Structure formats: C-alpha cells, structure tokens
C-alpha cells in the first residue's frame, strides 16, 4: 500500500443563508462540469484530500476541481473552477529483491539477544570461512 501527502483545500464560504453544504467536482482530463465525478462534503469550507473524499482519484499530474454551494432543496450555485498540480501519484515500487550471502562475517561479542554497547568487528579471515556451506572450497 502506497502513501501520498494530504492536501487541505480551502475556500471562502457562500454568503447565502440557506446553504446546507458544498459539492466537490473533479476532472482528471478535460474540463470539470456538473456531470463530472463529485462528492458532497458537508457544510464546511475546507476538505482534506484524499482522506475525506474516499472516491477522490489518486492521479498523476494536474486535476481540475470545481466547488458548488448546495441549498436545502438541492440547487447548486455557479461552480468555482480551478486546476492544481496535486501530485497524488506515487512512484513505482522497487522490484526483484534478492539477499545474497557475503564472504565476510559480522562478529558480535556477547549473545545475540544482548544488544548493549559492545563493539563488533568485521573479520574476513579465511579460517572463519572454512566449512561454511555458503563458501565451499574457501581456504
């Protein structure tokens, strides 16, 4: 599961007294309009994206947004439209991890459960590698 930085979208609320909430519209490509995907976000003049709008897309590049005020019968105001480079895209994950045995040993003094301030040293002497199944034939 990837993670993206949250963005807070803020606007000046409508001055109408009968507003019951706001609707956020978005368009990944092209112009945002009343037919674009949307979400009702309640009677607040801010929203945290994408956290508070679960259907908000995680996309690369810019996205065009629109906000409308909604009254008690469902009528909507003119749409305030703007575009922003949200950069909600995530990089591709690393692939093909491997773990390889090295010839060197990490020598620890004390038990494996003792993680105190004891020194550790790297010792690559060939006598330590003799009989190691990962290093057959080392002399």
Query: How many domains are there within the chain?
Result: 2
For residue 57, being part of any structural domain is answered with yes
pLDDT score for 12: 95
Query: Are 12 and 80 found together in one domain?
Result: yes
d(CA 66, CA 25): 5
CATH code for the domain of 12: 2.60.40.10
Closest among 112, 130, 108, 135 to 121, alpha carbons compared: 108
Taking the alpha carbons at both ends of the chain, their separation in whole angstroms is 46
By residue range, what is the domain housing residue 129?
A: 105-135
d(CA 9, CA 22): 12
R_g of the chain computed on alpha carbons: 29
pLDDT score for 41: 92
Closest among 70, 58, 74, 71 to 26, alpha carbons compared: 58
Q: Say if residues 126 and 139 touch (Cβ distance below 8 Å).
A: yes
**Per-residue confidence in pLDDT tens, the chain, 139 aa:** 778 888 899 999 999 999 999 999 999 888 999 999 999 999 999 999 988 999 998 877 778 999 999 999 999 999 999 887 766 777 778 888 898 988 998 888 876 555 555 454 544 454 444 555 554 554 4
pLDDT score for 75: 97
pLDDT score for 139: 46
């Amino acid at each position: 599961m990837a993670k993206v930085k949250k963005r807070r979208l803020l606007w000046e609320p409508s001055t109408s007294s009968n507003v019951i909430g706001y609707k956020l519209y978005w368009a990944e490509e092209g112009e945002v309009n009343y037919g674009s995907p949307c979400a009702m976000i309640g009677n607040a003049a801010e929203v945290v994206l994408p956290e508070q709008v679960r259907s908000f897309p995680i996309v690369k590049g810019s996205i065009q947004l629109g906000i409308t005020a909604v009254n008690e019968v469902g009528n909507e105001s003119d749409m305030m439209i703007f575009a922003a480079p949200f950069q909600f895209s995530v990089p591709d994950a690393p692939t093909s991890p491997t773990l390889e045995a090295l010839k060197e040993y990490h020598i620890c003094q004390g038990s494996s459960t003792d993680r105190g301030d004891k020194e550790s040293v790297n010792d690559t002497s060939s006598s330590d590698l003799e009989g190691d199944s990962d290093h057959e034939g080392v002399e």
